[in-house]
Structures are given as structure tokens and as C-alpha cells.
Amino acid sequence: KAKAPAPEAAAVAEPADPPAAASKPKAMFDLFADTDAVPDLPAAGEGVNRAGNDDTSDPEGFYQPRAGEMLDGRYSVQAVLGKGVFGTVVAALDTKAPAGEAEAPPGAPGDPSPPPASMPKVAIKIARANSLMEAAARKEAECINDLDEEIPQERERIIAVRSIFTHGRHLCIVLDLMYLNLRDFLKRFGTEGGKPVGLHIDAVRLYGRDLLMALNCLRRSGIFHGDIKPDNILVNHGMKGVKVADFGTACPVNDCTATPYVCSRYYRAPEIILGGSYGHPADMWSVGCTLYELYTGQILFQGETNNHMLKLFMALQGRFPNKLIKVAQFAERHFDETFAFLETSVDPVSKKAVTKRVADIRSLIDLKALLRVDECKPEEKGKVLQLASLLDSCLALDPAQRPTPEQALLHPLVKFGRRAEVKQ
């Protein structure tokens, strides 16, 4: 199987220009779910310094940026990077940062020329001008700032809040500026001939280790992220590491309440769907889904509904243990009193919901087959088998059987023995 290059190779290979499209591509840096492309900034002109004025907002409360506008007397707005429900993200030059304080882009493929080292770029998340969005943004910033810093190497795998300030009626959060989220990274480096093939196994190992280190920091901090997926994992400019971002749905693990719609559906753990107790193991389920996607370029579970997701889970991992169904608040939506699965679908003719009782549930597919282990190069086969092993443990239907991040970091796939191996 042909694979996209590992990070080291990708950093020096200029990718082919993407095909022309009718619309502008999605923004490279996305702290919001499902952002849309946004228009170019208007040129700087009168009223560029608008701090404290009400004309910073459109009728829906979104910040209206202008190129060269100064925020907090320090940050010069350069471009809009993303826009979503909660607000807008812009790239800005930090005109007062000491040299070397923040990472400046090294001219990675597709990036603009880097600013001088004394003026590093940052990302600024600007909340919409309403009390609900401001409160959500403030809660997110506080969650990030309160993370445990006992192990700096793990804390560094999570996006950092550099400062918080108010501009007009908008709460602004200054963050690290990264290169791409993993969703867009896969589109750029994980395709061949327009088809998804995923990343090199060594890239998956490296990024997987960083992701697990970030989750170990969250576990020590007592924080459940609740939305681990490629969109919320950001690649640095050297392409040699990632950081976890977007804490909009994060909460203390003790505050997790039963709801079947926490987390994006394709990465949603079964205990969430069933209404069981959930927390850090649910994030580990999302890690398994994400690592599979990084290696194959394919989404593992593409269910159209929660019920369909459960069917796909069982096709891979077999039937649910009865003990999990017994304690789940929403079990009756998906299983009967004999623990038979109630498969729901829409009749193509009547368009009405149809329920079918399925008593004989068994695993129909195999992770090794999905990873196409038999087609691997000999020198990569052992690592891909290790990936299959780690995925199988992360995707255990019983959350109690999944490894903690600390345990997963001891797995041979992501346990690098020497510094030279990490560099390689």
C-alpha cells in the first residue's frame, strides 16, 4: 500500500497545487467545529483602531476584522482563519513579543512568508458579542489555564492560552498559531491520485504519542475533553508534533452528565450513546477512531444515527456485555429485555421508521483486514500490527477494559526507546 510521507519527508516535499475550486478552501486553523471559509479582510483604512467601539460587530455579533487593525494595542490582524458558531479566529502579529517567544512559521508549503522572529504570529479566538458565547469562551480559556503542569512535556501537547482581553464587546483569547489541523493535513499529505491513503505509520506513531501525552495531562487534571477528532488536533509548523485544541465541550470529569450527543458522532464512545457513566475512557475511544483515520485516511465508524453507530461497533467488536446494557439509561432505545439489538432504519418506500430485532450478533470484520496488514511493506508490517493491537484496546466496548493514556504510552507502537528513534 502506498502511503503519504512521514513528517520529515513531507516537510521538504512541496505538494502539488490543489485543483482549482469554485470556492475558497477551508481555513487552515480551526478551533471551531464545522467552520466555513470566510472572505478576505477589507483593506486597512479609517477606523482601523476601533477598540471600545460598537462597530466591531455585525448584526449577529460576529467580530468584523480589518487588515492591520490593532487589538489590545499589541496584535496586528493579518487574516481570518476560521468562523463558526462561537465566533471568529484571526491570525495576528504580536508586535510586542520578545524575540523567540512564539514559534514562527518556517515557510512550510502553502504558508505565507514568516514574520520577523521579533514579531511572531498568534491566533486570536474572538467570541461573538453576546453573553452566552462570551461565557463559553471564558470557560474554555479557564479550563485550559487550569490544566496540570507537573509534566511540562505533556502540558506542551495542549494548546496554550497566551492572554485574554476585551476588544469592543468581544472577549478575545490569544493562542498558539499552528500549521494545520489533522483533517486538513490528511487532505494535503494523506491522499494519492485524489484518493485517501492516510499517513506513513511513523507519522501515526509520532502524532499518536503526542495525543496520548496530551490526554494523560487531561486525566491528571480531571478534565474530559469530549471532542477528540482530527479537526481538533493541530500540527506544528515543522510537522513533527501535534497539540490538542478546542476545549469548548470540555468539563471536569465529575460533571459529566448522561446525554447521547456528547462528542462528534463518528468519534462518540458507546457508553455515551447508551447513557452510561463516561469520562476519560470515552476520550480514549475517540483516540482509537482518530489513529485509525490517520493511518487509513478513512473514517472508521460512519454511522448515520446513534443506533447505526452501535451496529457498526458490534460488527467490529462483537456484542455488548449484558452488564453494560443493564446499567445504561438509554438502553431501551437500542436493546430489548433479552438484550437483543433493536436495529432501526427507514423504509425506502414508506419512509417510516422500521425496527428489526437482531438476536444473533457477531463480529463480521477484523481490524487487521481493515488496516490491510497483508499488503504492508515488510519493514512496516510489525508497526502496523502494533497499531492494530493498540486500536483494539482503545475500542473495547467496555470502557473499563480500555487503557488509560498512561498505560497506552507504554504500548510498543508509541514507546520510543531512544532520542535518536524519536528524531527519526
What does DSSP assign to residue 43?
P
H or E element in which residue 308 lies:
helix 306-317
Instruction: Choose, from 94, 184, 202, 227, the residue flagged as catalytic.
Output: 227
Rounded Cα gap, residues 133 and 61, in angstroms? 10
Candidates 400, 256, 389, 405; CA nearest to 320 is: 400
Beta-carbon contacts of residue 220 (< 8 Å; ≥ 6 apart): 148, 150, 151, 154
227 given a catalytic annotation? yes
Cell of 287: 483516540
| Length reported for the chain | 424
Candidates 212, 178, 198; CA nearest to 28 is: 178
N- to C-terminal Cα separation, the chain: 21
How many other C-beta atoms can be found within 10 angstroms of the C-beta atom of residue 77? 22
Cell of 248: 469548548
| Angle, CA 211 vertex, CA 206 and CA 215 arms, to 5° | 150
Rounded Cα gap, residues 35 and 29, in angstroms? 10
Beta-carbon contacts of residue 406 (< 8 Å; ≥ 6 apart): 216, 219
Rounded Cα gap, residues 334 and 325, in angstroms? 9
Three-class SS state of 153? helix
**DSSP-assigned states of every residue in 327-346:** T-TTGGGTB-TT--EEEEEE
Residues designated catalytic? 227
